[in-house]
Structure 1
Amino acid sequence: LVGGGAVHSGAAEEVLRFARKTGMPVVNTLMGIGVFPGSDRQCLGLTGMHGHIAANMAVANADVLIVAGSRFSERVTGDRNRYVGKKTIIQLDIDPSEVDKNVMTALPLVGDMKENLNKLSERVKKLDIEHWWHTIKAWDATENRAAQSGERLTASWLMKELTRSFKGEDTVFVTDVGQNQMWAALHLEVDAPRHHLTSGGCGTMGFGLPAALGAKIALPEAQVVQICGDGGFKMTGMEIYTAMRESAPFITVVINNSCLGMVRQWQQVFYDKRYSSTILTPFNFVGFAKACGADGATVTTCAEFTAALAKARKQGKNFLIEAVVEQSDLVEPMVAPGAVLDDFVKTDA
């Protein structure tokens, strides 16, 4: 399991070497995305409250869990006692105060992560775990990671299309907070560290746009794609004007379901559909972008999104795509707060 500490330590090469040497499956936290290539066959993807089925099932049923740079937040572990269970947890971290803080570990390896991973790689051998991989693949088959029916635009399909369009390019994806953040974490394939920027558990709606501006100024040759919801955009949308003024072009994708999506999802799933204060009034996103000097398009189908994305890439300037999706589209899978990782809730509308 790789977390944000593996990003900060620059240990991507060492993580890959260790994974290749052992043949182990790899999962990541939200802050660990990109440390291990998301497109790699050994990558099971996100684990935690909104983790993939196979990723969560693998963590829940593992005998040994090697953790590189995760603080074991409640969004990652759920029920912490049952998270540990009977498994052996080996924790790699540079900060001794992180050891046994949230979960009890069997073996802490405190120090430079790159050095410790290299030492571990020298001592391990290829594991005979074909039966384990067979079980994992069966779990993976139970989840349709990008369900799509006809031309109706969904957020999960949109993320897959972004992955396809920018495959092999130096692209930095920046997300805001809420459903857009989780859809991106689940369905984007990020193959390099620091190419997925998010505020993590801070819950700072409005983070995405100014963060994308910072990323573009830091990496002017890279393609930057900012993904946000219709609620978060309204908090810092004026920074499109700043981006135009600073000649820092990037693509903004606003997923518009006319509500505060994640709050409404919780009201639906955990509060018997007692909705309150989550519906947002109409807003002219494209008109706002144009008022700031940028360009944009509103899309409601897959074909329209693909065409708008191609136009945005061709123009090479600040471009906003308003992607209209249905409120019934929820972030799935989902585990209730404090529950066991393999206990997925029903999110039926």
Structure 2
Amino acid sequence: MDAHPDTLTQLARPHRKAVLVALLWITIGSGILFGFLNAFRGYLPLSLLEWGMALYSAFLLFAVRRTRHLERWILAYILPFFTAMMAAVATPEASVTVFGWVLLIPLVGHLLLGRRLGMVVTLCFLAVATAIFLYKFRGDTAVMDIRSVANMVILTACITVFSHVYEVSRERSEIQLLKMAQTDFLTGLPNRSRIKVFFERERSRAGREQQPLSLLIVDLDHFKQVNDRFGHEAGDRALVFFADLLKHRLRATDLAGRLGGEEFGIILVNTATNTAIQVAEDLRQALADADLRHDGQLIPLTMSIGVAELGVDGQSLQDLLAVADQRLYQAKDQGRNQVVPPLAGQPRAPSGQTVSGPEQIL
């Protein structure tokens, strides 16, 4: 499972917000301190720059507390902060030690912006800082000593590389943890959590593009008898077998997941009810014709399926699950091994309401 970029952004948001708040407090404190120090030395323009950045950071600190647009405020901090840093090192009064602040650029950039945008912003501002450094100290033989320059270049490169590697490693770890949290351990299919995330994303897309979206609820028939007759190992093997069948017979754009036990949910993207019924029938027939054996014994498997469509049967995942579940139990009552689609004149779930079924799924 490849994590969606929006999902990665959501995962990183608390981490980045904490870093931003800490940096804002540091910027406020250091801005006030260095503002007074520069004012005492007579460097009024530099003092005003420091105080202005401290005041701006105080405003940002208030703004980011409850914002839903953290990424925008991060850019609103980083770009002026780095620009003010460039202005500070470019002033005639700035000594070579002031360039030590430039080492914060790769660290702050990656922590707040991630590995891609963080690297772009880092390289841009490091290039500006390098140009300013060469222009200011081009005639100073002590500062431009090859060993001193080499040390600064290597140190800056190390911090940049380490920051980037850290972000790459953090992203991979979060993706792996997210995959584990959203995957059923037995079948390898998405679990309820992943189904919900996928549905919300595809519902938004279906609304934007005016495309249909359908849901199937599948339940393996007489599965308790499979466990009782052949053993739980055979039951687990049957679940894995059915999961593999779903993986091979559905499109890459669709999603099949395990709701629990022998019950599965399937989200069919860009699929209206009529096509969803055909897909359900194909799956039902494929399982009925399958040759699953355990210890030389044939394990017969069939399934019952309920079908629901977004907009027709409700607007939320809860709506569709309830309606499809109701039709699933109707299939059970009618003898199993069948698909129950919407019937002409059958009541529908109004928008925002849930049709009650024999069982609440989520």
TM-score by length of 2: 0.26
Report the structure, 1 or 2, having the larger helix content.
2
Q: Which has the higher contact order (CA 8 A, sep 6+)?
A: 1
Report the structure, 1 or 2, having the larger strand content.
1
